[in-house]
Homo-oligomer: A and B are copies of this chain.
Amino acid sequence: VKVTVLGAGAWGTALARLLSDGKNDVTLWGHNAAHLEDLLKNGRNDRYLPGIALPPEMKLETDLLKSVTDAEYVVVAVPSKGFRTVTKSLAGFSGTAISVTKGLEHETGLTMCGILTQNAPAARYAALSGPSLALEMALFHRPTFRVYTSNDLTGVELGGALKNVIAIAAGVCDGLGFGDNSKAALVTRGLAEIRRLGVACGAQPDTFPGLSGLGALMVTCFSRLSRNRGFGERLGRGEKTEAILATSVSIAEGYPTAKSAHALARKLKIETPIIDEIYAALYESKHPAKALQDLTARESKAED
């Protein structure tokens, strides 16, 4: 099968590697020609996936339109910010487009598959989500990559996008030196918050306690390898948002998603205390310790 992966970051490279099992004809597209040349020269993606060898038969391509021509499957693994621009290349694509990007378009509140319905009207589409860290996926030498299916595309995509905001909050807990008890309580409330907002967007409530919701949420909030948790940890330790962004190799999708989710929740009039406080910490220079304190106060009031 001819498969093209758009995006040569950690996730895209890990998936392209996984798909190169000898049966598929895999092409990896990246927008940065110098970065792709490095991959070709070193046989590794040292920037995003250090130390992991790439299969020699994997093709690299810098021409976007050329990379998707003749592809039967296109896996889109670019940051949410570039998703609309990159997928304009799929205007005439009639195969299957699979989004692995977790985020919400700020201006429209659309999920990534929502953008695909507009940009790739002739394609079939799906979202891939669940407990999966890019680095671990590539390291995990299992004979199979187990995939479960769900018809609740909105639930799967929202669970995947919103978990990253909760993970930033969980990281703030870590950075402030809070214990596991507090963090688990936060993540539990985070799941309820994701579910509330998701259901308001038309998702099925039962999707959220499953693998794509809770499973992914737990990995992101508890793993040391998680980018979003790590972003929050630095924030909790006192680094400024701008400084963290400036020194991050990969974008932590929870950062833009906090803004979009905050706007979406206001529009739909849904209570989202964790998202609100993380939004304030990221975009309104609120002190992270104060944000968590206010969150606790809000919870107490709500429970009274």
A residues lining the B interface (CB < 8 Å): 130-133, 136-137, 139-140, 146, 148, 179-182, 184-185, 187-188, 191-192, 209-211, 214-216, 218-219, 222-223, 225, 300, 303
Contacts and interface: CB of A to CB of B under 8 A. Distances in A.
Contacts of A215: 184-185, 187-188
A300 B185 CA distance: 31
Q: Count this chain's copies in the assembly.
A: 2
Contact of A211 (B131, B139, B185, B209): B185
Contact of A218 (B140, B187, B211): B187
Contact of A214 (B136, B188, B223): B188
Contacts of A146: 300
Contact of A180 (B184, B214, B223, B303): B223
A222 B146 CA distance: 23
A177 B213 CA distance: 24
Given A148-B303, A214-B214, 11 more contacts: A131-B181, A131-B182, A131-B188, A136-B181, A180-B225, A184-B216, A185-B211, A185-B215, A187-B218, A188-B210, A222-B222
A130 B188 CA distance: 11
Given A146-B300, A209-B188, A132 B181 contact: yes
Main secondary structure of the interface of A (DSSP, over half): helix
A216 B214 CA distance: 14
Given A139-B179, A179-B139, A222-B222, A131 B210 contact: no
A147 to B, nearest CB: 10
A179 B140 contact: yes
A185 B214 CA distance: 9
24 contacts: A131-B180, A131-B185, A131-B188, A132-B181, A133-B180, A133-B181, A136-B180, A136-B181, A137-B181, A140-B179, A180-B225, A181-B219, A184-B222, A185-B211, A185-B215, A187-B215, A187-B218, A188-B211, A188-B214, A191-B214, A192-B210, A209-B209, A218-B222, A222-B222
A70 to B, nearest CB: 33
